[in-house]
């Protein structure tokens, strides 16, 4: 793993924590959807960037 992939995965997991918090606070669904897409993109990009 290089530094960029690690950062992207950590940011994606941070967004997942935010999504869980926003669901508990009953925030608007559009905001939760937008954060879900961002989290998924960060995690997938981080996994694809890994040098195996």
Give, in order, the Cα–Cα distances in Å from 10 to each of 19, 20, 41: 14, 16, 12
Return the structure tokens found at 16: 């997942």
Domain tally, the chain: 1
Sign, CA torsion 34/35/36/39 = positive
Residues in the chain: 52
User: Is residue 4 within 8 Å of residue 31, measured between CB atoms?
Assistant: no
For 14, the domain range is 3-49
What is the model's pTM? 0.85
- Separation between Cα atoms, residue 7 and residue 46, nearest integer Å: 8
Tens of pLDDT, residues 1-52: 788 999 999 999 999 999 999 999 999 999 999 999 999 999 999 999 987 6
């Amino acid at each position: 793993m290089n530094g960029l992939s690690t950062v992207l995965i950590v940011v994606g997991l941070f967004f997942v924590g935010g999504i869980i918090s926003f669901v508990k606070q009953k925030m608007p669904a559009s905001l939760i959807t937008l954060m879900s897409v961002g989290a998924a993109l960060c995690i997938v990009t981080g996994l694809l960037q890994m040098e195996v």
